[in-house]
A and B are shown apart, each in its own frame.
Chain A
Amino acid sequence: MALDDRKSRFTFVGTRPNRPDGLDKVTGRARFGADVTAPGMLFGAILRSPHAHARIVRIDTSKAEAHRDVKAVVTRADFADVPFKPGLEGEFWNVLENVMAGEKALYDGHAVAAVAASSALAARDALKLIEVEYEVLPHVTDVDKAMAPDAPVIREGAADYSVPEGMHPNVVRYHESGHGDVEAGFAEADLVIEDHFVTEATHQGYIEPHACLASLGADGKGELWCCTQGHWIVQKTCAALLGIETAQLRVTASEIGGGFGGKTTVFIEPVALALSRKANRPVKIVMSRSEVLRATGPTASASMDVKIGMKKDGTITAAQGVFRLQGGAFPGAPGDMTAMCAFAPYNLTNVRQVGYDVMSNRPKQAAYRAPGAPMGAFAVESVIDELCKKLGLDPIEVRLKNAAREGTKASYGPTYDRIGLVETLEAAKGHPHYSAPLKPGQGRGVACGFWFNHGGETSVSLALSEDGSAQLMVGTPDIGGSRASMALMAAEVLGIPYENIRVTIADTATLGYNDVSHGSRVTYASGLATIKAAQHAVEKLCERAAAKWGIPVDAVKWENGCAVPSGPNAGDFDPLPLAEITADMGRTGGPISGHFEATPEGAGVSFGTHIVDAEVDPETGKTSITRYTVIQDAGKAIHPAYVEGQYQGGAAQGIGWALNEEYIYGEDGRLQNPVFLDYRIPVASDLPMIDTVIVEVPNPGHPFGVRGVGETGIVPPLAAIANAVSNAAGVRMRQLPMSPPRILAALKGNG
């Protein structure tokens, strides 16, 4: 089907209606994690380790317990009693160990105890009454140092089968993949460049700190309200950690004030439930910003070596990369993802990639928009830029020459289906930005990025009301306007106006399991399920019409919101609108609903190309971003305004990561910048307008052609900006963030 035909067949999809939660969010009435209360509610607070690595010798909570405002104190001992599900292991054990330290505090900010008291102030004051005796241990926070032979061991036996023998115990997972013969490929090259790259850990920086309101009784029945990207994983995890049955814990997702991957696990929720069970009252916990930065899940930091060989005509002959990622005191750093994504945009004969997952004394990393991919792209796209420069080649032409297409064997193994990388590169080449003149002191950078995208377990229900309106229940928290997208897709199938559909994020008691809102999966997977659920309802609507008309159901079809005879032989009946069928539904067979549940597999990989102009002050090393253009394949943009929003947000986060954001640890292993004053996310005056181009190469795996768009937008910026800055400054920047002291030092070294 030609692209134009696809576009023209949509009535609602592709339009830009107002979001259903807009009014609530501009008037302050939307209820986020910290915005609810319960009768008899207590306030919880968490005591955190001031040490990067320490044995917990003794915790004395008696003074806190004796305080009249304190109603409960919990430590790890309150989680050990799990009669229903004894013997936590695997990721549940890791999460428990992370939300409440056991024998050791593993990073600055690691939770060691918690209290519930009658006011937030009383709870905070009570923490000071808890005495903890620590035996401070040697620590390590740097990835390369954590792999060195003399590094302190975070935890023996954490490594899995994949790790080759002889590696330090802090190396806990190993990935290696590729194809061809890279040595032969390098021998064919006219120029081979190998370089070392470093990125620091960054935080998702969502503006809403984690917050929850928990209620759990001795009967094992609980209620939990929290800001999360996925309340079923919260339900499952909390039930496991507290030793209750999953179905007995009902979890409701609040409005969520940003997540970007950081709210895909639990931190305070099990603690609040434990406090509530002990106090027998509801308990609310709200993190402070410094708790968010110290003790939730930032990204991994990375140390990388990339080597690429190129012919004079721009053909890449071989590529290889080693990617070492530090992900905090637990397994999980996405070294495998970095490795698999790094060369994914290119059609390579010879490619080899290695990824390491390394533990250190930092908080357990969490997902952050295409986790792992931006770091690898930074290294790879920087080397490609340098090769282009040395060989006098145009960076977009070289990328086009080597671009992966339909049928290309991907660097990580599979063969690509229909993909849109070439289309983004062509759009970049033809964009006025790419040919606009630069002023003195400015440089331009280009980079490509890739992300897998994800399907995941999905369940959606749709119920029609007598008046012909529809309520749609989805299980993926709305982190970027997805309620609007779902309503558009349902409207498209049902043929009723967008405004007549109310989309609700169902709680865990009212819908089957739904995977987290991650992996850019919501518009794809919940969207697919919404379409199928609406089609399911349409089948029933057609059955009612068939019964009314006395004709077979296969003689009825659905058009523009009405049942109509499928052809001249089916009979001569006036179109029967949806609202006329639902008006009688109680008498014609009962309520009409649609449902769909599946784990869709056709998410469709995604590519983007970014163009950025940067200006560097040669006397201070200060960079300003003067122009930015995002070009990305959306497959099909359901609500283009929110697709643009994802592109712009990803670029802005990438700008922060590239220029100023970083976790800074002192010699003592403590985080030195756990406030927004010094964890410097971009402010409005730091950024230009961010132009967007939505490329639409339909995904064959989705009925409307959707590809997820949430994550790919953060993959190219680090590299694109590094290329722009390097071109502006005349010196290659290989370490992020490219803060002014680093740039000035590089300029001095160059001069």
Chain B
Amino acid sequence: MQYHRPASFAEASDLAAHATGITRFLAGGTDVLVQLRSEIVTPDTLIDIKAIDGVRDIARHADGSWTLGVAVTGAEMSEHPQLGREWPGVVEAMDLIGSTQVQGRATLTGNLCNGSPAADSVPAMVAAGVTATVTGPAGDRVVAVEDIPTGPGKTSLAQGELISALHIPARGASGGDAYLRFIPRTEMDIAVVGVGVNLRVDGDTITEARVALGAVAPTVLLVEDCTRALIGTTLDHAALAALAAAASAACKPIDDKRGTIEFRTEVAGVLAKRAAKIAYARAKGETA
């Protein structure tokens, strides 16, 4: 395995574009090293992107939007004084991944590029409308997060391409997000179901909503029927029931060692309701 530590994304892209065999980018390493140690994936080329300028930066722009460097850790996100106030769902989703130790290393970008349908941060990012700058041999392009993973362990990134930054939209007024997942223990598990909800209200009425489900299909799902169930409602009982039904209906899960089809389908609806309540309270400026 060849190890490289490039000083720029262009160099990283160039290394990857010309590498043969299996290439992996190393940020936090909490997936790459597990796969290496378990001999699931032993890369021929490993490109450590942490020496690139700015990869540890969290920047809030004048318009209220955010840019996160690709090596920003979960711990750094949680410790940021303002990010979690504006995007608590995104920060909490990242914070749910692994232990304190894992939080010291794991990154949003890594969680995204690992391509797991159960990745906790991805439904929250999809709900939030996060986009990624992808740097490749042909230059940069901006891609919606939901378009990065294409299936378990797979992404839409071409050879030589890597994510060079993540962008979170401006929170704006009267918005709130939340992420909940189901795991059998209280910590350390992979999500059996994950639900991210991001919405905006006008008074008591929901005017915008994005609901994303994790671990219930080969990729994270952005569920438009859930949006329809919420918009124009005050999150009353009927809206919650419609939301849960839409979430459950969207599930295309599998039976595996972590959960059954029936369980995932049922719990997706339960968590959608619970997450929506939290996001709604946050949008209205209430504590939740």
Contacts and interface: CB of A to CB of B under 8 A. Distances in A.
B258 A678 contact: yes
B114 to A, nearest CB: 14
A286 to B, nearest CB: 13
B237 interface: no
B258 A683 contact: no
A731 to B, nearest CB: 16
B257 A678 contact: yes
A401 interface: no
A624 B185 CA distance: 9
Contacts of B256: 672
A664 to B, nearest CB: 5
Contacts of B267: 619-620, 740, 744
A8 B280 CA distance: 64
Main DSSP-derived SS at the B contact region: loop
Contact of A619 (B39, B185, B192, B270): B270
A673 B38 contact: no
B184 interface: yes
Contacts of B266: 744, 748
A748 B265 CA distance: 13
Contact of A680 (B37, B39, B189, B262): B189
B257 A683 contact: no
A677 interface: yes
A391 B192 CA distance: 39
B182 A672 contact: no
Contacts, number: 62
Interface in B229-263: 256-260, 262-263
B185 A682 contact: yes
A660 interface: yes
B260 to A, nearest CB: 5
Contact of A622 (B38, B184, B187, B190): B184
B185 A620 contact: no
B190 A740 contact: no
Interface centre among A288, A620, A677 (most CB of B within 10 A): A620
A686 interface: yes
A52 interface: no
The size class of the interface chain B forms with chain A is: 20 to 34
B101 interface: no
A352 B259 CA distance: 38
B188 A620 contact: no
A601 to B, nearest CB: 43
B184 A685 contact: no
Contacts of B2: none
A686 B186 contact: yes
A739 B186 CA distance: 13
A290 B258 CA distance: 18
Given A619-B270, A664-B257, A678-B257, A745 B182 contact: no
A35 B266 CA distance: 48
Interface in B159-203: 182, 184-190, 192
A741 B259 contact: yes
Given A678-B258, A740-B263, A685 B187 contact: yes
B35 to A, nearest CB: 12
A516 interface: no
A745 B262 contact: yes
A-B pairs with lowest CB-CB distance, top 3: A741-B263, A685-B186, A619-B270
Given A622-B184, A672-B257, A683-B187, 14 more contacts: A124-B39, A659-B184, A660-B185, A675-B38, A676-B188, A678-B257, A683-B188, A686-B187, A739-B184, A740-B267, A741-B262, A744-B266, A744-B267, A745-B260
11 contacts: A659-B184, A672-B257, A676-B188, A677-B190, A678-B190, A678-B258, A683-B186, A683-B188, A685-B185, A685-B187, A686-B187
Interface of A: 124, 288, 290, 619-622, 624, 659-660, 664, 672-673, 675-678, 680, 682-683, 685-686, 739-741, 744-745, 748
